[in-house]
Structure formats: structure tokens, C-alpha cells
A and B are shown apart, each in its own frame.
Chain A
Amino acid sequence: MSAVSELIAPQPAPPVTATQWTPARIAGAALLGLWILAGIALVAWLAGAWDIDKVRTYGPKYLTGLGTTLTLVGISIVLGAVLSVPLAFGRMSSNRVLSGLAYGYVYFFRGTPLIAQLFLVYYGFGTYRNELEALGLWVFFRDAWNCALLAFTLNTAAYQAEILRGAIESVARGQHEGAKALGLTPFQTFHRIILPQAMIVALRPYGNEIILMIKGSAIVAIVTVFDLMGETRRAYSRTFDFQTYIWAAVFYLVIVETLRNIWAKLEQRLTRHLKR
């Protein structure tokens, strides 16, 4: 005997409830509408102000400026990474003097604006021109590009040292002990056990640092380096056309978003063994 004596007849689907126009929904629609309107207005304005002469004159310059930006950031990130290794080990060292020096370096470069550091290198070293000429270093400091490279390298080294230190210290102590129990040398331990685990932790901050450097590198335009921002300022000062800035914004947004997406993919790929 079954407990069910009769089957319930099929029911029609419940009626679709009408979307309620709550204040939040209205606000959302209004704000999104505002963005869409702004986007359409921007595209329409850019299309209306499209001037093939200006594009021919300034388009290639924007691209070379973009190349300068990427070269500057690329070189300074790599040199900064090299410099950050001794700094990070200095920070972690048990030697008071060493760790104090490394801490002072990191604190100075993280506590002051990059633009002040750039001015200190570019204008500041100019004060000691005679001494630098005697040392034969003036050739280096005369060029704004070199000064920017030096300032950026020193700055990013401080940030990267902190990233590296945080990542290395995040590796559990048991990993060191396990390596020791296996009889690995300190170098082998670091190279084979600690570093691979630390790099995964450091991946995301490194990506952020690269993006911050690309954005921060715009200030070299002020010391007469013609990067993307510098070319933009030059184009604006010649044409007084505001779309020069809009195009620069588009360029920067595209670079940053591309890099962010590439980095997210990379991180997903490299940490796939950690996903459960």
C-alpha cells in the first residue's frame, strides 16, 4: 500500500513577479545610464574631432612614447629585482647594522614620493656637477632618462625587497626544518624549497608593483623625458586639444587592464596545484 493515493495535478509555473523599481535599482540604472551616456558622448566627440593630420603627426609619437614608458619600466623592474635580493636578506639578517641599514633604505624610499626622489636625483645631483665631472659620472647624470632610470630602480628595489621578504617569511618553518632533516645545504634549501613556495606568494604583489610602476612612470614627463605622458603633454601644448589627454588615458587603461588580465591568468595557471 502506498501512502500516496492520488498524484497532484501538474501546476502552471508561478507568475513572473514584476521587477520592483526599488530606489537601489533606480540608482543603479541611472548611474549605469550615466556611464553609458558619457561613453557614447566621448566616442561621438572623439569621432567628431578626428583629425587625420593630428593622428599622422602625433600617432607615431604616442607609440614611441609608449615604447619609452615600457622600456623604462621594464629595465627598472629588472634592475630593482636584482637590487632587492641583498636588501631583503639585509632586512632579514640578524646583524643589527645590516638590518638597520636595509630598513632605513626601505623606509626612506617607501616613505617619500617617487616624484621627490626623481627631483632629488635629477636636480639634486646637478648641484654637484663639478665633483661628478671629476669622477666622470656627469655623462650619466646629465641625461634625464638615466636619472629617471636610477630613481625608479632605487624606488622599486625598496618595494620589491619588502615583497620578497614578506614572501620568504611566509614560508612555514617546518619547510626549513624538513630540508635540514634531509641534509640539504642552505643554498639548496633556499633554491629548491623556499624560493618556489615564496614566489607563489609574491606573484600577486609583483604584478601590482609592475602596474604601480607603469602608472608612476608618468612623472618622468616632468623632467623632460618623452614617454607616453611626455608626448601627450607636448601634443597638448601644441594643439590645445583635450583629446590628446583622452588618448593617453585610453593607452594607459589598455596597458594596465591587459597586464592585470595576463597576470590573473598567469596566477591561475601557476597556482592550479593549490586549488582543491
Chain B
Amino acid sequence: MEPTASLGVQLYSLMSLFDPFCGPVGFLNLLPDGSLMSCGDTGWGDEVARGFFVTVTLALCTLPIGLTIGLFLSLAQQAEIRSLRMAANIYTTIFRGLPELLTIFMIYFGLQIAVREAALALGYARGFDINSFVAGVIALSLVFSAYASEVLSSAFKAIPKGQYEAGYALGLRPGKTLRLIILPQLVRIALPGLGNLWMILIKDTALISVIGLGDTLRQTGIAAKVTKEAFFFYGIACLLFLGLAMASSIVFSRIETSVRRSGVNR
């Protein structure tokens, strides 16, 4: 076995130890055998749980990429140089104006065509398939970053100019002023807006199921088709998304209180 594969298997078995659905302490084990949501071969519990983890992983992979691009976008949006501002505004106009579903399709099919053409040009006989997870992360990052840049830009506007001037007066370089003085304050101001964007991101991950990623919605959809219990399984999908939203709002309010404690009162 290759080392990376075995590492993956070990990681997976480690993670399944803490699986709240079908792990050793999973609550779905409490269901009687033969019920629709039980674990193992008879029920759909483990399949749905796997989809749920794909949803969470997708959102967690998108977040750092989207935030980083969004930060650079918002820096460009308030630059004194007009070409930078224009370039950033074109980006946000496009990705905020397009339906998320269309962005996903365009990235998925467009990447596939681009990769095939590139492979043909390089002399390979056939192209490679684009992983729907990768396409999903790219598409969601584009959309997320466009929205994040707006939130961060308005947070930048809320920081008084004196903070920058104080940084320069201390002899800090612009980059250091940004990192040491502005960003810590920015996080506090932008946090509620970013929390909203995270909720929207979680809901948008459901759209990736249409390009074949086995996320919550797709797995419950398969279960619904096989068992003909569509209402039950799509209801489960909705409940899982609701649970995710509730958990996120708890985490975010925790972060907000801890951040507010360390901040200055204005």
C-alpha cells in the first residue's frame, strides 16, 4: 500500500472514531436494526453521515481560500490606484451578479474543457476528469471572496484614519501597520458580517450536489430514490443543514464574545 493512501485510511479510521452519527458513540446506533436511518448495510445512516462530512469539509476548505482572496480584493478596492480598484470591482460585479449554480456549472464544464484542450496540446491522448470537489471549492471560493470583500471593505471604512497615521508615526511600514494595527481591529468589526457569509456558504454547498459530489443533499437524494421515502430523507437533509447552522451560530457567538472581551470599547 502506498504511504499516502495508508495515511488517509488511518486518518479516516481516526475520524470515524469521533463520528457522532455512526461511530462507536454515534447516536444513530441507538436506532433498531432495519430502520431507515440505522448504520451499516441495512440503513442509510452511514451514507448520509458521509455526505454530511463532505458538506462540512467543502465549507471548511472554501473558507480560508475565500477569505484570503476576499482580503486582497478589499485591499485593492480601497487602493488609491484606479486600475487596481477597477480590476477588483469587475471581479465582484461578475461573481456577485452570476447565480451560484451558473458559476458552478461554468467552472466545472469550463475547467474540464480547458484541461482537455491543454492535455491535447501537450500531447496526451485523453484529458483528465475534474474532481467535482475541487471544482466546488474553486467556484464557492470565487463567490465567497466576492461577498467577503464587501464585508471587509465596509469594516476597513469603520477604522479611523488615525490608526494608520499612528502606525506611520511609529515608523511602521504599511504592511506592518496593516498586520499589527489594522487587521486585529478589522476582525472584530467584520465578524458578524463574516458569520452571515459562512451561513450562506454552508447553504451554497448544497448546490455542488448537482455536479455529482456526494454531499448531504446528494446522499439523501439517493436514499430517497431507492427507498421512495423522499419526504423523510429530504427532511433529514434540511434538519442536518439546520443543525449545522445552529452549531455555527453557537460557535460564532462564542468567538464574538471572546473577541469583544479583548477589544477596546468605542
Q: A113: CB under 8 A from chain B?
A: yes
Number of inter-chain CB pairs below 8 Å:
135
Closest beta carbon of chain B to A178's beta carbon, Å: 32
Complex contacts, A242 vs chain B, CB 8 Å: 109-110, 113
A31–B79 Cα gap in the complex (Å)?
13
Q: How far is the CA of A32 from the CA of B88 in the complex (A)?
A: 9
Please tell me if B238 contacts chain A, counting CB pairs below 8 Å: yes
B207/A219 in contact, CB under 8 A: yes
A249 engages B102 (CB within 8 Å): yes
| B101 near A219: Cβ-Cβ < 8 Å | yes
Q: A127 touching B231 by the CB < 8 A rule?
A: yes
Q: Does A114 contact B (CB under 8 A)?
A: yes
**Chain B positions 14-35 with a Cβ under 8 Å from a chain A Cβ:** none
Whether A116 is near chain B, meaning CB under 8 Å from some CB there, is yes
B81 within 8 A of partner (CB): yes
Q: Does A215 contact B (CB under 8 A)?
A: yes
B61 part of interface (Cβ distance < 8 Å): no
Asked if B252 lies at the interface with its beta carbon under 8 angstroms from chain A, I say no
Which of A120, A221, A229, A256 contacts B238, CB < 8 Å?
A120
Is B90 an interface position by the 8 A CB rule? yes
Within 8 Å by CB of A127, from B90, B93, B97, B229, lies B229
Q: Pick the residue among B86, B102, B238 that contacts A252 (CB under 8 A).
A: B102
Q: Which residues of A lie under 8 Å from residue B231 when comparing CB positions?
A: 120, 123-125, 127-128
CB within 8 A of B234: which of A32, A124, A233? A124
0 or 1 for each of B213-232: is its CB under 8 Å from A? (1 = yes): 00001000100100011111
Question: Are the C-beta atoms of A28 and B241 separated by less than 8 Å?
Answer: no
B97 near A257: Cβ-Cβ < 8 Å:
yes
Tell whether, in the assembled complex, residue A116 and residue B113 are in contact, meaning their CB atoms are under 8 Å apart.
no
* Interface residue A35 (Cβ < 8 Å from any Cβ of B): yes
Contact partners of A35 in chain B: CB under 8 A: 87, 90
Asked whether B105 is an interface residue with its Cβ less than 8 Å from the other chain, the reply is yes
Contact B79 A24 (CB under 8 A): yes
For the complex, would chain A's binding face be called helix, strand, loop or mixed by DSSP majority? helix
Nearest CB of A to B153, in Å: 16
B180 within 8 A of A: no
Q: Which of A28, A115, A119 contacts B83 (CB 8 A)?
A: A28
Residues of chain B with a CB closer than 8 A to A113's CB: 203-207, 217, 241
Query: Which residues of A lie under 8 Å from residue B199 when comparing CB positions?
Result: 111
Q: Most chain-A Cβ atoms within 10 A of its Cβ — which of B87, B199, B204?
A: B87
Q: A111-B241, A127-B228 are in contact. List 8 more A-B contacts (CB 8 A).
A: A28-B79, A108-B242, A116-B238, A218-B102, A219-B101, A248-B102, A253-B93, A256-B96
**29 A-B contact pairs sorted by A residue (CB < 8 Å):** A24-B79, A24-B84, A27-B84, A28-B81, A28-B83, A28-B87, A31-B87, A32-B86, A108-B242, A111-B245, A113-B206, A113-B241, A114-B203, A117-B238, A119-B217, A119-B234, A120-B238, A123-B224, A126-B230, A128-B231, A218-B101, A221-B101, A229-B99, A245-B110, A248-B102, A249-B102, A252-B99, A253-B98, A257-B93
User: Which B residues have a C-beta under 8 Å from some C-beta of A?
Assistant: 76, 79, 81-88, 90, 93-94, 96-102, 105-106, 109-110, 113, 199, 203-207, 209-210, 217, 221, 224, 228-232, 234-235, 237-238, 241-242, 245-246
Interface residues of A (CB under 8 A from B): 24-25, 27-29, 31-32, 34-35, 107-108, 111-117, 119-120, 123-128, 214-219, 221-222, 229, 232-233, 236, 242, 245-246, 248-249, 252-253, 256-257
